[in-house]
Structure 1
């Protein structure tokens, strides 16, 4: 089969694991536990589960149906169904490219920490050694870029090997490894003396915590966690054989993604409660790279625990990054008739250049001395890291998802999409009517709420 005629997943399991790998990213491992802590524990989890089922799953099905119906990349898919909506695919490609550029940098940070734990977990001395180590590392001009290049090279290697021979084969190995490691870490965490307090916080629902803020926080986390709104599921759906049931596959993907998030919370929240107390919980990259190493250092066998955790982060980062790079690569292959090797080669340099801007801006506005040029005399890097993240998470992803839902719900039509969701020659999609209502009305309304709170009120949800 020629590349332009679309490859296919060799098995349903391979597709589910690859798509679940796309959804299971860095945010599932460290951001979800932080959101649980910020929004009252069990109340947040309850809202999150409801939103994944009622909103996340319908949006994912909308994307998968577009992909399988057209057997095209995200831009080609919209052009085939309605040329006027090609811009929606363009939104996806731009979003994916920007995300891949900084995802490679963060993936490089994770690789660095895996190496640190493998070589002795030496973070230096002093009361603030963990935060000082992280801040010192990311503010260097060259070392983070070397690790980012290594991470990007791993992604390119997998994508160049193709859909079934590269992405599917690697996902069949990495995703079971990720689950086994996560289960092992969670079991160790919940058996620590005093872990019960963290578990009670995690799974008990306090009525006072069921607020509007909790609901909006769960909306944002669930929505962005599932890799919808970027076109990844359109690309992955285009590789699905016509005789597969998309609803069963999408439900499995959502279930696996949610399971990873819950296991991550069970692995992290009790440990933090035991060592630092509830106030020790935080969110974002600093939580993973500064607070958690301090937590691990206070645990029996903390070095091994820390190694397992950052290997988990690496597997989550790699599987997600592979799906992002594959979607960009498929666009170049089909639109410009390039080979996989040429397409990924063309992407590598601009990705590294944009990623370099993200990495260098981590200096927090301080001047940076490079070996061949001194910028410290007044030149300061723009805050590209904050700009790039807000551009993708707060604007482009919800905007893309809104376009996908409006297109399926009101242009292409939910009846056409529903026919694509069921297996060819099999029983029709039994939930076509409620799914259509969700795609036409509920999902767009939720996305507009997210846009209001992230743009209108200036609060980030991703």
Structure 2
């Protein structure tokens, strides 16, 4: 077997991790989750959840990956034995499962990039979404998106993932800043800012049972936690970098893009008198398409927005594929391109039912969002807090100093605060899934 690859720089790791986190979860899911939960009220709870739950949880995955320098399955096996390895197997399966339908959404975005230039969705955005979201044509674009993802991952950690994310992540940030600046000029944008930034704490008090778990779930989802991605990426670290500093950088940059998405979406919706609370999951693919169709130069603006969404989707997709590929590269003496292609084809085939039927797609998404992800985070937190324990503190102290007091404080925070939050989220998510 060839020597295991590593990141060529700390910046490469940070941008790759940000790329994994900054995907559809930020630019697609975050705005509509905010809209469904009172706008600014959700934003406040989300920011608290990122700081108190998301950041500590991402550090938990980092210490596992860097300590073992192994794929997600072997990482848990090395630290906790064959039973713990099952947590890694869950992460492997989650990455495989999620990418199968995530790639379908990537195919939708490709069609919207094309449709923006041709004006295909201008006449009837709702009908256009119905045409692109399921059917044999959807399979074709699912295949195109999957092929691009395979090509990047097959090139390797250094020449594929790191090079790709060094281009993708700055591009996302620059284009989103430009879109937000443009949205600021729209008539009626002020109402969108008020909705997104002026919190009514009474809404939180009245709807805490839905806002809190949704915000915690979004924090975990948007940081790519519970699917083995951060463990896998941290396993390619070589050195004693400050994981706390890296974790803060990643969570801040990730949150920045999510908030930027709000600065684009809400001014745009309010400028076109579209109720954000009724937009739902179709906010990007129907409501925004409707807004672009009614704007001067809407095709160009739509093209830029959906191009950003496509880049973000790719940056997350490569991390999901790498979770699975990493295990097979570590354990089988077969070239990375061959393994990546074979695994990618199997993921593509699993995604075909989601491409053919939107209800199947929704089922796949509900299983991932309500069961696989929260279960993976919960088991990881239990493992780090109560089994890995002191070893996790020692690993975190590398780069902080062996006498740093942050490690023990972080461990107890993981054991109590993060555990209670993710366990509660898991319970509510399972109830949501069962009642769906």
| CA root-mean-square deviation | 1.8
Instruction: Confirm whether residue 90 of structure 1 aligns to residue 86 of structure 2.
Output: no
1:267-416 equivalences in 2 (<5 Å)? 267-279=264-276, 282-284=279-281, 286-362=282-358, 383-413=359-389, 415-416=390-391
User: Which segments of 5 or more consecutive residues in structure 1 lack a partner in the other structure?
Assistant: 363-382
Q: Which residue of 2 aligns with 1:374?
A: none
User: Is the contact between residue 142 and residue 355 of structure 2 (CA under 8 Å) also seen in structure 1?
Assistant: no
CA distances 1:16-67 after superposition (whole Å, capped 9, x unpaired): 0100000011121122111222222222111111110100011110011000
Q: Kindly state the Cα deviation for residue 308 of structure 1 after the two structures are TM-superposed.
A: 0.9
Aligned equivalent of 2:229, options 207, 228, 232: 232
Q: Which residue of 1 aligns with 2:257?
A: 260
Instruction: Confirm whether residue 155 of structure 1 aligns to residue 154 of structure 2.
Output: no
Cα distance in 2 for residues equivalent to 1:181 and 1:23: 17
Cα distance in 2 for residues equivalent to 1:174 and 1:281: 31
Q: Kindly state the Cα deviation for residue 431 of structure 1 after the two structures are TM-superposed.
A: 1.5
Aligned equivalent of 2:131, options 127, 136, 140: 136
Aligned residues: 432
Q: Kindly state the Cα deviation for residue 346 of structure 1 after the two structures are TM-superposed.
A: 1.7
CA distances 1:153-198 after superposition (whole Å, capped 9, x unpaired): 1111111111111111111111111101000001111221221111
Aligned equivalent of 2:38, options 22, 32, 40: 40
Q: Kindly state the Cα deviation for residue 399 of structure 1 after the two structures are TM-superposed.
A: 0.8
Q: Kindly state the Cα deviation for residue 266 of structure 1 after the two structures are TM-superposed.
A: 0.5
Q: Which residue of 2 aligns with 1:146?
A: 140
Q: Kindly state the Cα deviation for residue 144 of structure 1 after the two structures are TM-superposed.
A: 1.1
Greater gyration radius? 1
1:86-125 equivalences in 2 (<5 Å)? 86-118=85-117, 120-123=118-121, 125=123
1:207-222 equivalences in 2 (<5 Å)? 207-211=201-205, 212=208, 213-222=210-219
CA change 1:52–1:63 in 2 (3 A) is: same
Shifted more, 344-353 versus 317-326: the winner is 344-353
User: Is the contact between residue 453 and residue 459 of structure 1 (CA under 8 Å) also seen in structure 2?
Assistant: no
| Structure 2 SS opposite 1:82 | helix
Cα distance in 2 for residues equivalent to 1:425 and 1:195: 44
TM-score (norm 1): 0.90
Cα distance in 2 for residues equivalent to 1:323 and 1:424: 25
Cα distance in 2 for residues equivalent to 1:77 and 1:235: 9
Shifted more, 98-107 versus 420-429: the winner is 420-429
Q: Which residue of 2 aligns with 1:370?
A: none
CA distances 1:61-105 after superposition (whole Å, capped 9, x unpaired): 001100000000000101111212110000001110011111111
Q: Which residue of 1 aligns with 2:185?
A: 191
CA change 1:149–1:434 in 2 (3 A) is: same
| Structure 1 SS opposite 2:357 | helix
Cα distance in 2 for residues equivalent to 1:311 and 1:460: 36
| Structure 2 SS opposite 1:247 | helix
Aligned equivalent of 1:71, options 52, 57, 69: 69
User: Is the contact between residue 276 and residue 295 of structure 1 (CA under 8 Å) also seen in structure 2?
Assistant: no
Q: Which residue of 2 aligns with 1:367?
A: none
Aligned equivalent of 1:29, options 27, 30, 37: 27
CA distances 1:303-356 after superposition (whole Å, capped 9, x unpaired): 111011100110110000011111110011112332211211221221121110
User: Is the contact between residue 29 and residue 264 of structure 1 (CA under 8 Å) also seen in structure 2?
Assistant: yes
User: Is the contact between residue 9 and residue 168 of structure 1 (CA under 8 Å) also seen in structure 2?
Assistant: yes
User: Is the contact between residue 120 and residue 128 of structure 2 (CA under 8 Å) also seen in structure 1?
Assistant: no
Instruction: Confirm whether residue 433 of structure 1 aligns to residue 408 of structure 2.
Output: yes
Instruction: Confirm whether residue 202 of structure 1 aligns to residue 200 of structure 2.
Output: no
TM-score (norm 2): 0.95
Cα distance in 2 for residues equivalent to 1:158 and 1:429: 39
Aligned equivalent of 1:19, options 8, 14, 17: 17
User: Which segments of 5 or more consecutive residues in structure 2 lack a partner in the other structure?
Assistant: none
Q: Which residue of 2 aligns with 1:249?
A: 246
| Structure 1 SS opposite 2:280 | coil
User: Is the contact between residue 6 and residue 238 of structure 1 (CA under 8 Å) also seen in structure 2?
Assistant: no
Cα distance in 1 for residues equivalent to 2:217 and 2:392: 25
Q: Which residue of 1 aligns with 2:175?
A: 181
